[in-house]
């Protein structure tokens, strides 16, 4: 027995749900198939049998508001998404007891840094932040729609920014460590910027990570946001949006096969059922799993197979580990009031995070791992019994450990190291009442991504923009008729932004003849881009 829809979409991570919602709101019948028992992928809030709640996956969600996707889909105005807004967007506790605070306000941040690190260093950060903000304003213009090639991006930068365009391009190609070392003197201040760059699971000393360092410094000017009730709030709103538009979500339906006929994708077999797609099949899982796992070689051109096999996901041997716990008491944070509510990055120093990634590359647990820390229970009640709290910890671990494979003993060792590192950075011993460990194998069981990579494939310089996930698959469409790609493995990559989902939906609707950008709209968009670029040029030159 078969079920028929206009579109069948594989994978209910947030990008899959975003793409499906845009398509359903355009009038298409859409069925979304999810292998897990619940949607969300790397966004994963879990109620425990004890009645406590733990946040197992992605924490901050400012990207989906900043991208405009939340507004487009009316997630806040119509579908129940509520954000906690904070001016305290980041805190960086160091092992020597110094804690670096970052607020929405750049001026307030600079004044606090001046007290801790000296006026000269604080003003260096101010100049770097202003330059980064202007540079990212230009780069942000490339994130909507099919990605530009490096050649076209360089041409745009050259035409609109002049000499500063070359500096921007150099920063994008550079390692994050080179960018931060040139801009800042204190290695404790370089630590959180390098750590932010490593969100892509790339070593900050790797070429092409420079944009990540710019991103953190460019984050001033808007509040940090986190969904009320946990990150699942974003997913619940997307599911309500999808279903309100007539779309359907089916969980516990792992995709087994994509069928083709006459050179076109026609159906998906999942969970033992067959789902016919009359107009399109969309994959929100990575391209390797799609083409090498769900399709037979005879369905694909030899050149496409060779290209897909070159896509890589763990060249640096980096994976992810989470430790979540109910604790007897939320630690006192050695920083300004309110910083206990912030998202925390503790790399200690730039040198420490570089050493950590060197250890990961050879399969070892770092001596001083970079740790992300948050306390979701500080924003609202309901996570734990009154008087207690919940801690969220995340770090990087090797995908392939030097002993060959992950087992329970290594999971416990890595979790204990993460816990002790967080305690040292915070200067506080935490007592766990209830604890859950999520290592690489547990993440693969949850979302299936190779290497447990939340970005699906590596965000290395050779797999960005018009090369993500590969040269001939970068525009969201594929050489197979009616088969499209979305998700973190497509442009612009990982993070909770929804942009890959929105971009893919735009391409699909255009190819189906349901959407066509009018010439006037295109000219207005180009004019807006030029206006932004000219504004950025003034800022870049001012802060060069």
241-295 pLDDT tens trace: 999 999 999 999 999 999 999 999 999 999 999 999 999 999 999 999 999 999 9
DSSP state of 503: H
Point out which residues pair with 55 in neighbouring strands: 45
State the pLDDT at residue 538: 54
pLDDT of residue 525: 45
Q: Supply the pLDDT for residue 225.
A: 95
Q: Write the CA distances from 365 to 316, 399, 406, 414, 452, integer angstroms.
A: 14, 11, 12, 7, 17
Per-residue exposure over 419-454, b if at least 16 CB sit within 10 Å of its own CB, e if not: bebbebbbebebeeebebbbbbebbbebbbbbbbbb
* pLDDT given for residue 349 in this prediction: 97
Burial class (CB in 10 A: 0-12, 13-18, 19+), 282: buried
Least confident of 182-186, 241-245, 340-344, 534-538: 534-538
Where does 376-407 have alpha helices with state H?
A: none
- What is the reported pLDDT for 543? 53
Q: Taking 60 as the threshold, does the pLDDT of residue 195 lie above it? A: yes
Binned at pLDDT 50, 70 and 90, residue 544 comes out as low
8 Å CB contact between 339 and 86: no
pLDDT digits over 292-311, tens only?
999 999 999 999 999 999 99
**Does 383 score more than 50 pLDDT?**
yes
Residue with tokens 């944070």: 333
Residue 155 vs residue 61, higher pLDDT: 61
Task: Evaluate if residue 521 carries a pLDDT over 60.
Answer: no
What percentage of the chain has pLDDT greater than the value 70? 94
Residue 494, token pair as written in the block = 């990982």
Q: What is the tens place of the pLDDT at every residue in 6-25?
A: 999 999 999 999 999 999 99
Is the pLDDT confidence value at 523 over 60? no
Count CA within 13 A, CB hemisphere, residue 464: 21
**Average of pLDDT values for 326-349?**
96
pLDDT at 527: 41
Confidence band of 157 (pLDDT split at 50, 70, 90): confident
Q: Of 508, 483, 1, 24, nearest to 259 (Cα)? A: 483
Angle of CA points 344, 345, 346, to nearest 5°: 115
pLDDT value of position 33: 98
Residue 165: the pLDDT is 80
Q: Using CB atoms within 10 A of its CB, is residue 515 exposed (0-12), middle (13-18) or buried (19+)?
A: middle
| Amino acid 542: pLDDT | 59
Nearest alpha carbon to residue 110 among 129, 97, 95, 96: 129
Neighbouring residues of 324: CB distance < 8 A, sequence distance ≥ 6: 54, 55, 56, 390, 391, 392, 393, 435, 436, 438
Q: Which residues pair with 33 in a beta bridge?
A: 10, 250
Query: Could you read off the pLDDT of 80-136 as tens digits, one per residue?
Result: 999 999 999 999 999 999 999 999 999 999 999 999 999 999 999 999 999 898 888
**What pLDDT score does 336 carry?**
94
Does the pLDDT value for residue 187 go beyond 60? Answer: yes
Distance of CA 297 to CAs 101, 198, 301, 302, Å? Answer: 53, 35, 8, 8
Handedness of CA 143, 147, 153, 156 (dihedral sign): negative
Which pTM value belongs to this model? 0.94
* C-alpha torsion 248→253→257→260, nearest 10: -10
pLDDT in tens, 137-154: 777 767 777 788 888 788
Query: Structural domain boundaries of the chain?
Result: 2-44+61-82+229-313+450-520, 105-221+521-542
pLDDT score at 515:
79
Asked if 352 and 110 touch (Cβ cutoff 8 Å), the reply is no
Q: What's the CATH superfamily of 2-44+61-82+229-313+450-520?
A: FAD/NAD(P)-binding domain (3.50.50.60)
Task: Give the residue from 199, 210, 197, 125 showing the smallest Cα distance to 167.
Answer: 210
Q: What is the pLDDT of residue 265?
A: 97
2-10/30-33 β-pairing: parallel
Mean per-residue pLDDT over the chain, rounded: 92
pLDDT of residue 522: 45
E strands, 370-520, are 371-374, 389-398, 432-438, 483-485
Query: Distance (Å, rounded) from C-alpha 349 to C-alpha 114?
Result: 18
Q: What is the pLDDT of residues 406-438, one digit of tens each?
A: 999 999 999 999 999 999 999 999 999 999 999
CB 352 within 8 A of CB 205: no
Is residue 56 within 8 Å of 393, Cβ to Cβ?
no
146: DSSP letter: S
Q: Is residue 537's pLDDT more than 60?
A: no
For residue 520, is pLDDT > 50? no
Which residue's structure tokens are 């969220």? 392
Is the pLDDT confidence value at 189 over 70? yes
The per-residue pLDDT for 413 is: 98
% the chain with pLDDT above 90: 84
Mean pLDDT, range 495-500, rounded to an integer? 95
Q: Which pairing describes strands 483-485 and 83-86: parallel, antiparallel, or unpaired?
A: unpaired
DSSP codes of every residue in 272-295: TEEEEEEEEEEE-S-HHHHHHHSS
Using CA atoms, how far residue 307 sits from 470, 480, 489, in Å, is: 7, 14, 15
Per-residue model confidence (pLDDT) at position 147: 83
For residue 111, how many C-alpha atoms fall within 13 Å in the half-sphere facing its CB? 7
Residue 528 confidence (pLDDT): 47
Phi and psi at 31, nearest 5°, equal -120, 125
């Amino acid at each position: 027995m078969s079920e028929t829809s206009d579109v069948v979409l594989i994978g209910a991570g947030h990008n899959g749900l975003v793409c499906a919602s845009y398509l359903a709101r355009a009038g298409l019948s859409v069925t979304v198939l999810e292998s897990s028992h619940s949607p969300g992928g790397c966004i994963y809030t879990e109620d425990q049998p004890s009645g406590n709640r733990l946040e197992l996956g992605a924490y901050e969600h400012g990207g989906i508001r900043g991208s405009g996707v939340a507004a487009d889909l009316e997630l806040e105005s119509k579908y129940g998404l509520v954000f906690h807004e904070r001016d305290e967007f980041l805190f960086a506790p160091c092992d020597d007891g110094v804690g670096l605070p970052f607020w929405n306000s750049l001026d307030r941040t600079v004044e606090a840094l001046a007290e801790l690190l000296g006026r000269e260093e604080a003003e260096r950060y101010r100049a770097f932040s202003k330059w980064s903000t202007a540079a990212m304003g230009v780069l942000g213009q490339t994130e909507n729609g099919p990605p530009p090639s490096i050649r076209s991006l360089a041409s745009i930068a050259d035409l609109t920014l002049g000499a500063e365009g070359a500096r921007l391009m150099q920063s994008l190609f550079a390692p994050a460590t080179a960018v931060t070392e040139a801009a800042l003197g204190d290695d404790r201040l370089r630590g959180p910027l390098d750590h932010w760059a490593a969100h892509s699971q790339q070593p900050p000393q790797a070429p092409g990570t420079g944009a990540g360092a710019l991103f953190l410094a460019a984050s001033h000017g808007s509040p940090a946001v986190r969904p009320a009730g946990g990150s699942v709030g974003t997913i619940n709103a997307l599911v309500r949006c999808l279903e309100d538009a007539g779309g359907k979500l089916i969980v516990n339906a792992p995709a087994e096969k994509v069928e083709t006929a006459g050179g076109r994708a026609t159906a998906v077999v999942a969970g033992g059922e067959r789902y016919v797609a009359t107009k399109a099949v969309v994959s929100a899982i990575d391209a390797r799993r799609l083409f090498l796992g769900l399709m037979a070689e005879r369905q694909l051109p030899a050149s496409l197979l060779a290209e897909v096999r070159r896509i890589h996901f763990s060249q640096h041997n980096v994976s992810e580990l989470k430790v979540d716990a109910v604790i007897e008491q939320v630690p006192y944070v050695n920083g300004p009031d309110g910083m206990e509510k912030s998202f925390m990055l503790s790399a200690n120093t730039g040198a420490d995070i570089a050493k950590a990634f060197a250890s990961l590359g050879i399969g070892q647990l770092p001596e001083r791992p970079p740790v992300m820390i948050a306390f979701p229970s500080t924003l609202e009640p309901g996570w734990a019994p009154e008087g207690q709290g919940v801690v969220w910890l995340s770090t990087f671990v090797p995908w392939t450990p030097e002993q060959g494979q992950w087992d329970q003993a290594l999971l416990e060792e890595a979790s204990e190291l993460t816990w002790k590192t967080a305690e040292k950075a915070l200067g506080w011993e935490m007592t766990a009442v209830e604890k859950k460990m999520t290592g690489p194998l547990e993440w693969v069981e949850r979302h299936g991504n190779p290497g447990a990579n939340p970005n699906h494939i590596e965000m290395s310089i050779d797999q960005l923009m018009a090369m993500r996930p590969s040269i001939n698959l970068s525009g969201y469409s594929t050489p197979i008729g009616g088969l499209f790609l979305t998700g973190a493995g497509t442009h612009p990559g990982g993070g909770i932004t929804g942009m890959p989902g929105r971009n893919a939906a735009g391409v699909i609707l255009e190819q189906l003849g349901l959407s066509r950008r009018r010439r006037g709209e295109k000219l207005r968009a180009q004019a807006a881009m030029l206006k932004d670029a000219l504004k950025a040029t003034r800022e870049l030159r001012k802060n060069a």
